[in-house]
Amino acid sequence: MSNKQDRKSVAAAVEKGLARRKAKEKRFQRAGLAAVITALMMLAVLLISIVSTGMPAFTQTALKLDFHYDESLLPAGQTLNEETIRAMDFHGLVKKTLREKFPQVKKRKDKKALYKMVSNGTPYILRDMLMEDHALLGQIKSIWVLADDEVDSIFKGSKTIADSRLTEAQYGWVTQLVAEERVMTRFNWTFFQNGDSREPEQSGIRGAIMGSLFVIIVTLALSFPMGVAAAIYLEEFARPGRLNDLIEININNLAAVPSIVFGLLGLAVYINFMGMPRSAPLVAGLVLTLMTLPTIIIASRAALKSVPPSIREAALGMGASKMQMVFHHVLPLAMPGMLTGSIIGMAQALGETAPLLMIGMIAFIVDIPQGLLDPATVLPVQIYLWADVPEAAFRERTAAAIMVLLAFLVVMNLLAVWLRKKFEKRW
Amino acid sequence: MSTKDKATVGEDQHGIESEDTETVGKPLLAAEKSRMTCRNVFVYYGEKMAIDNISLDIGKNEVLSMIGPSGCGKSTFLRCLNRMNDTIDICRVDGDIKLDNQDIYDQKLDVVPLRARVGMVFQKPNPFPKSIYDNIAYGPRIHGMVDSKTDTDEVVETSLKRAGLWEEVKDRLDAPGTGLSGGQQQRLCIARAIAVNPEVILMDEPCSALDPIATAKIEELIDELREEFTIAIVTHSMQQAARVSQRTAYFHMGKLIEVGKTNKIFTMPSHQLTEDYITGRFG
Ligand SMILES: Nc1ncnc2c1ncn2[C@@H]1O[C@H](COP(=O)(O)OP(=O)(O)O)[C@@H](O)[C@H]1O
Ligand SMILES: [Mg+2]
Domain encompassing residue B213: 3-278
Q: Are residues A109 and A212 in the same domain?
A: no
Angle, vertex CA B84, rays to CA B83 and CA B89, nearest 5: 100
Q: Are residues A280 and A366 in the same domain?
A: yes
Which residues in chain B have Cβ-Cβ distances shorter than 8 Å to A311? Answer: 126, 128-129
Q: What is the pLDDT of residue A1?
A: 52
Cβ contact, residue pair A324, B127, below 8 Å: no
Q: What is the pLDDT of residue A421?
A: 84
| CB-CB contact of A94 with A120 (8 Å) | no
Tell me whether B115 touches chain A (CB under 8 Å).
yes
Q: What is the pLDDT of residue B198?
A: 94
Q: What is the pLDDT of residue B248?
A: 94
For residue B283, tell me if it sits in a domain. no
For residue A249, tell me if it sits in a domain. yes
**ipTM value greater than 0.90:** no
Q: Are residues A24 and A137 in the same domain?
A: no
Higher pLDDT, B143 or A159: B143
Angle, vertex CA B57, rays to CA B53 and CA B59, nearest 5: 165
Among the listed ranges A3-7, A302-306, A307-311, B198-202, which one has the minimum average pLDDT value?
A3-7
Determine which of A236, A306, A318, A323 to mutate to test the interface with B (most B C-beta atoms within 10 Å). Answer: A318
Label each residue of A316-330 as H, E or C: HHCCCCHHHHHHHHH
Cα B74 to middle of ligand 2, angstroms:
6
In tens, the pLDDT along A376-395 reads 999 999 999 999 888 888 98
- The stretch A204-223 carries a mean pLDDT of 94
Q: Work out the burial of residue A300: count CB atoms within 10 Å of its CB; fewer than 13 is exposed, 13-18 middle, 19 or more buried.
A: buried
Q: How many domains does the structure of chain A reveal?
A: 3
Q: Which atom of ligand 1 is nearest to the CA of B74?
A: 22
For residue A199, tell me if it sits in a domain. no
Higher pLDDT, B93 or A6: B93
For residue B43, tell me if it sits in a domain. yes
For residue A200, tell me if it sits in a domain. no
- The stretch A72-88 carries a mean pLDDT of 85
Ligand 1 binding residues, C-beta < 6 A: B 45, 50, 68, 70-76, 88
Cα B168 to middle of ligand 2, angstroms:
30
Number of helices (H), then strands (E), belonging to chain A: the values are 18, 3
Give the CATH number of the domain where residue B96 resides.
3.40.50.300
Q: What is the pLDDT of residue B283?
A: 56
Q: Are residues A128 and A253 in the same domain?
A: no
Which residues in chain A have Cβ-Cβ distances shorter than 8 Å to B88? Answer: none
Q: Are residues A214 and A247 in the same domain?
A: yes
Q: Which atom of ligand 1 is nearest to the CA of B254?
A: 14
Gap between the Cα atoms of A408 and A352, Å rounded: 13
Which residue, A267, A266, A238, A264, is CA-closest to A251?
A238
Q: Are residues A417 and A329 in the same domain?
A: yes
Task: Judge whether residue A130 has pLDDT over 60.
Answer: yes
Domain encompassing residue A16: 2-55
Cα B95 to middle of ligand 1, angstroms:
18
Q: What is the pLDDT of residue A162?
A: 75
Q: Are residues A277 and A366 in the same domain?
A: yes
Tell me whether A329 touches chain B (CB under 8 Å).
yes
Rg for chain A (alpha carbons), in Å?
31
Last residue within a domain, chosen from A144, A167, A194 = A194
- Strand, helix or coil at B32? helix
- Residue ranges of B 52-111 with Cβ closer than 8 A to chain A: 82, 84, 87, 89, 111
Q: Which atom of ligand 1 is nearest to the CA of B204?
A: 21
Q: Are residues A325 and A369 in the same domain?
A: yes
Q: Among B52, B65, B70, B75, which is best to mutate for testing ligand 1, by the most ligand atoms less than 8 A from CB?
A: B75
Tell me whether A309 touches chain B (CB under 8 Å).
no
Q: Are residues A92 and A165 in the same domain?
A: yes
pLDDT digit string (tens) for chain B, length 283 residues:
344 444 333 334 444 444 455 777 788 887 788 899 999 999 999 999 999 999 999 999 999 999 999 999 999 999 999 999 988 889 999 999 999 999 999 888 888 899 999 999 999 999 999 999 999 999 999 999 988 999 999 999 999 998 889 999 999 999 999 999 999 999 999 999 999 999 999 999 999 888 898 899 899 999 999 999 999 999 988 899 999 999 999 999 999 999 999 999 999 988 889 888 988 876 5
Last residue within a domain, chosen from A55, A74, A91 = A55
In tens, the pLDDT along A260-285 reads 999 999 999 999 999 999 999 999 99
Q: What is the pLDDT of residue B203?
A: 95
Q: Are residues A22 and A150 in the same domain?
A: no
Q: How many domains does the structure of chain B reveal?
A: 1
Q: Are residues A247 and A175 in the same domain?
A: no
